[in-house]
């Protein structure tokens, strides 16, 4: 039997600084705009929502931003995460490709999300904040912030998208075990939530609505701030520990990736593995293909428009330029709840526009077939979100087989599927429908995009 190989590093090799892609961009990121004035916003506009240290990271042009000691101390519990050579999977696929995966499921919350949750909790605690409000889809982000809040002594309130709240009681239980409060969104606790419920009492919710509710609560209280699990520059920044570690581990393996694959919802785990490599290429280093895999039912990168849009449904956030399906677009209720977002991180969108990354969309039955193949070969059951990356990596490996090329493929296995087994049950029972979004709804959501443009 040819066996999977693990490349592990001593915890002294946890990166000392995050990597900031803003420092190496060949063209500047379009500014964030105030929805009323259409003018670029300043730090003060964001101060009701975030502590100043995170706002500074959002706009910093420094290439390296030091990871504070207390954050590294918490990282040490599960970092450096393993990087594996998937020898058993290669054998099953009969591919000449060398497949590597970075495994973020070893964190206490089971995904990459604690990389930023811990950092955000730290900076908020330092700023004297008592309480954090946030949204969550499938619950990976909410449970990660709950975990970080427990460590730093912060109250955490999570608005969880109603459909996931009902479908995934165990993710909710995990948040509650960590001491967080979890509310189904839309809720009666906020104006934004009540407005949606007035239109439709059984509304299934969306990340855009849950963001509105969390932002509204945070903006209304001095001791409370907002925390976001993806999309923003500082969130993507914190995730770069993934790619920075992977670079060292690939060196240990004596190899270099030809292709990097990640799944994209808001873009943070994808950015985490890809940005350090993209930055190296932009500084004249080795060229690498970077492929984003998204759900066909919520295809912001492959079918969205690159335009200014709101991050939430109630239009409480500033405007960012990104690939978007429109802030009123409600994706169908497929299983990868973490990927059900109408927009894409501005930085990831920018790279797409610059031709530095590719994107592909897949339906969920194909994605789960890939996940089961992976689980039987490698022993790890991926989260539905991560199955998108697995599908992308397997497709690249099969292409290598067809073309007779021995390329190195690196993908990010961003979380385990222990809280998502109902999706596997549905898959085996043939009940996983390949959901499509409503074309008319998409057209309407795109028609409703704000007309504002950067000055």
Binding site for a second copy (CB under 8 A): 1, 3-6, 8, 10-11, 70, 73-74, 76-77, 84, 88, 106, 108-110, 147, 150-152, 169-170, 173-174, 176-179, 372, 375-381, 416, 418-419, 421-422, 424-425, 428
Rg (CA), the chain: 20
The nearest distance, CB 427 to a second copy, in angstroms, is 9
Closest approach of a second copy to the CB of residue 252, in Å: 12
Q: Do 249 and 281 form a contact (C-beta atoms < 8 A)?
A: no
Measured from the CB atom, the residue of 1 and 201 that comes closer to a second copy is 1
Closest distance between a second copy and the C-beta of residue 425, in Å?
5
Question: Least distance from C-beta 137 to a second copy, angstroms?
Answer: 18
Output 42 or 153, the one with its CB closest to a second copy: 153
- Smallest distance, a second copy to C-beta of residue 445, A: 35
Among the listed residues 152, 117, 124, the one whose alpha carbon sits nearest the alpha carbon of residue 53: 124
Looking at the Cβ atoms of 5 and 443, the one nearer to a second copy is 5
Nearer Cβ to a second copy (177/453):
177
Q: Give min distance, CB of 156 to a second copy, in A.
A: 12
Q: How far apart are the first and last CA of the chain?
A: 62
Query: Judged by CB, which is closer to a second copy: 40, or 70?
Result: 70
| 11 or 438: CB nearest a second copy | 11
Q: With respect to a second copy, which residue has the nearer C-beta, 342 or 388? A: 388
**Least gap, CB of 327 to a second copy (angstroms):** 33
Q: Which is nearer to a second copy, 301 or 380 (CB)?
A: 380
Closer to a second copy at the Cβ: 73 or 166?
73
Minimum distance, C-beta of residue 128 to a second copy, in the bound complex (Å): 16
Minimum distance from residue 145 beta carbon to a second copy (Å): 12
Smallest distance from a second copy to CB 419, Å: 6
Angstrom distances, CA of residue 41 to CA of 22, 33, 311, 411: 17, 5, 15, 35
Measured from the CB atom, the residue of 5 and 198 that comes closer to a second copy is 5
């Amino acid at each position: 039997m040819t066996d999977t190989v693990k490349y592990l590093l001593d915890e002294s090799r946890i990166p000392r600084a995050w990597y900031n892609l803003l420092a190496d961009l060949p063209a500047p990121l379009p500014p964030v705009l105030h929805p009323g004035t259409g003018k670029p916003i300043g730090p003060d506009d964001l101060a009701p929502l975030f502590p100043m240290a995170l706002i500074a990271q959002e706009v910093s042009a420094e290439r390296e931003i030091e990871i504070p000691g207390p954050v590294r101390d918490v990282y040490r519990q599960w970092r450096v995460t393993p990087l594996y050579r998937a020898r058993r999977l290669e054998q099953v696929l009969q591919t000449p490709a060398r497949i590597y995966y970075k495994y973020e499921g070893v964190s206490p919350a089971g995904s990459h999300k604690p990389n930023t949750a811990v950092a955000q909790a730290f900076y908020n605690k330092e700023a004297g904040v008592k309480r954090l409000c946030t949204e969550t889809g499938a619950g990976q982000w909410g449970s990660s912030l709950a975990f970080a809040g427990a460590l730093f002594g912060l109250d955490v309130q999570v608005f969880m998208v109603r459909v996931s709240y009902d479908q995934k009681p165990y993710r909710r239980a995990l948040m509650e075990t960590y001491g967080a409060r979890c509310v189904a969104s839309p809720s009666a606790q906020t104006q934004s939530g009540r407005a949606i419920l007035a239109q439709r009492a059984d509304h299934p919710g969306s990340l855009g609505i849950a963001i509105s509710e969390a932002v509204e609560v945070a903006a209304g209280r001095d001791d409370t701030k907002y925390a976001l699990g993806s999309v923003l520059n500082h969130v993507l920044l914190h995730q770069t520990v993934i790619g920075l570690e992977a670079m060292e581990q690939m060196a240990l393996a004596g190899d270099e990736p030809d292709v990097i694959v990640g799944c994209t919802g808001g873009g943070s785990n994808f950015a985490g593995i890809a940005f350090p490599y993209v930055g190296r290429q932009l500084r004249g280093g080795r060229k690498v293909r970077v492929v984003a895999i998204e759900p066909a039912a919520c295809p912001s990168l492959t079918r969205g428009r690159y335009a200014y849009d709101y991050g939430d449904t109630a239009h409480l956030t500033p405007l960012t330029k990104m690939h978007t399906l429109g802030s009123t677009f409600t994706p169908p209720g497929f299983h990868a709840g973490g990927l059900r977002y109408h927009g894409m991180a501005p930085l990831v969108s920018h790279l797409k526009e610059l031709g530095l990354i590719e994107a592909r969309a897949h339906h969920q039955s194909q994605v789960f077939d890939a996940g089961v193949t992976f689980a039987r070969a490698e022993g790890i059951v991926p989260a539905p979100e991560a199955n998108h990356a697995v599908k992308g990596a397997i497709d690249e490996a099969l292409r290598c087989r067809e073309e007779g090329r021995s390329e190195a493929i690196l993908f990010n296995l961003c979380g385990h599927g222990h809280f998502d087994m109902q999706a596997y049950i549905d898959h085996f029972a043939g009940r996983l429908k390949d959901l499509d979004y409503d074309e008319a709804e998409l057209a309407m959501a795109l028609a409703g995009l704000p007309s504002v443009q950067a000055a």
